[in-house]
Structures are given as C-alpha cells and as structure tokens.
Amino acid sequence: MRDTSGWRFAYAPRDNYAHFREINGIAAAFQHLQKNYNPTASPFL
C-alpha cells in the first residue's frame, strides 16, 4: 500500500493537523487513565 500521508498533508494541512490533534488527545487521555488507574472509576471499562 502506498503512503499518501505526504499528499494529504500537502493538499489538506488543516484537516491533517486536526486529525493528529485528535489522535494526540486520545493518547493523552489513555496515558492519564494509565497513570491514575482505578478499575472502579474508569469510564472506559
């Protein structure tokens, strides 16, 4: 499969940036849950 991330970034930088921000936000949320892990309080379980 061809990597088209460069093409997407060239033609839609704002959409691509928002996509990365969304991924980073989700990753930060999971890191926060892992740091403060409480199985009875986690909304994801």
Contacts of range 19-28, beta carbons closer than 8 Å, 24 or more positions apart? none
Give the closest residue to 33 by CA, choosing from 43, 23, 24, 22. Answer: 43
Contact 23, 31 (CB under 8 A): no
Instruction: Tell me the mean pLDDT in the region 19-32.
Output: 80
Tokens linked to 6 = 């460069």
Contact 4, 10 (CB under 8 A): no
Predicted confidence band of residue 17 (pLDDT cuts 50, 70, 90): confident
Tokens linked to 13 = 């930088």
Check residue 40 and give its pLDDT.
67
**Is the pLDDT confidence value at 26 over 80?**
yes
Predicted confidence band of residue 39 (pLDDT cuts 50, 70, 90): low
